[in-house]
Structure 1
């Protein structure tokens, strides 16, 4: 995972070095070891998704060993942050890469996902907002907040690769199948996740097929949360999202 976050680099001055960025370097020694193995790479930037220790907890140590790094984050709660992002109006330029920060509140209120484009190649780093066939707990936000965040992500191009913050795919698929037991895409994904172990990256297309938190508009998901005396069609997507999250929290 650390190597994959380091590999998003561009040729700045071919005769000198490549510039590199890292996302949520919670294990900075691994990042530094990779940089030692690739001496032509110069780390300049840290992109932090949110302030929780298992994402931002390595920033201080990394800066002590690599002074002068630019550290982006959503608030001053982010360890060692140098640039606070509070709006989506400004994109970040990184060589030939365009980095669009999305404010994705819900898990925390300063959570940011980073959507990165390089020509036809598109990736998004989702931290604890969107997981493979799951999403993060609503620790600080509401279902309304998370609905806004997930709506931004599920409407990205289907080919966008999704680099999520934790490997929970097997458990997430098992839960998702309690919501949609007849979902053939989910059944196949669970079998595949068992075989491969590490499932990073996913894709927006696959998440729209297998992630109940992105599928709150689907009749099968809505029916799974309907309560006595209700009709599924009368529920709002936000109500469905909140109930699916409660089911997952209690599972």
Structure 2
């Protein structure tokens, strides 16, 4: 049974550490900084880092890969269409990679970057999703390389996963994302309740992750672009009618970029 722990890095990144206590094997997702992982391994003698999973090429997700690979011999898995340092296994859409005796399916989710991938497994009792910088708790990543249509399609693909799926994204952005969600849907009681809860957690310096797909469907404006109230707010902000869900998404993302 996989246990998951967050290793904080930089100002707001999380490196996800997957652990199999029985075999004392572990894996990490998006190690932008090697230090937190090496520190954990130093505090847990006898454990072996077996795999490094990478979602996309940005340095805050890959900066520690080569150091960790050199120190542990871990296999590096990452998107086939991006330059990932030390990569051993190039992953394309719908590939399956086995990590800690668990199969993870790869989803191509372009938008934040063109080659961004996510890792999903429905083998545990509660499904797991490592979404990198595509789907955040109550938000989504900026469009550095892809188009609004690509990101909208990527988010809809993730939103279609089982509602119980635990969402492990790569940054502690939840509070700022919910401030924006409150602006988009000021009458959404689920958004307001989540904002209150997350405000309390952050005041106590506590992590707000993982989320769930079900919670994101209720409170993430970027997954709610077909809701009438969300479309009307996007139309108001852009000063024009947004005829398609991807156009609503584009309006919301442009607004969030300046929020």
Q: Give me the TM-score of the superposition, normalised by structure 1.
A: 0.90
Q: Deviations over 1:23-43 (max 9, x none)?
A: 011221211222233334321
Q: Give me the TM-score of the superposition, normalised by structure 2.
A: 0.87
Q: Distance in 2 between matches of 1:57 and 1:229?
A: 41
Unaligned runs of 5+ in 1: 12-16
Q: Deviations over 1:72-108 (max 9, x none)?
A: 11134122212111231x2112344121111110000
Within the alignment, does 1:144 sit opposite 2:149 as a pair?
Answer: yes
Paired residue total: 242
Question: CA 1:20/1:51 → structure 2, altered by over 3 Å: closer, same or farther?
Answer: same
- 5 Å matches for 1:50-199? 50-66=56-72, 68-74=73-79, 75-88=81-94, 90-197=95-202, 198-199=207-208
Superposed structure 1 runs of 4+ greater than 3 Å apart: 227-232
1:243 corresponds to which of 233, 251, 255: 251
Q: Deviations over 1:55-88 (max 9, x none)?
A: 111111112212x321111134122212111231
Unaligned runs of 5+ in 2: 1-5, 9-14
Q: What's the Cα RMSD here?
A: 1.9
How many angstroms does 1:182 deviate by?
Answer: 0.5
How many angstroms does 1:127 deviate by?
Answer: 0.9
How many angstroms does 1:157 deviate by?
Answer: 0.7
CA contact (8 A) 1:133 1:176 kept: yes
CA contact (8 A) 2:127 2:165 kept: yes
Tell me the residue number matched to 2:45: 39
CA contact (8 A) 1:96 1:118 kept: no
After TM superposition, the structure 1 stretch with the greater mean CA deviation from structure 2, 1-10 or 239-248, is 1-10
Question: CA 1:64/1:237 → structure 2, altered by over 3 Å: closer, same or farther?
Answer: same
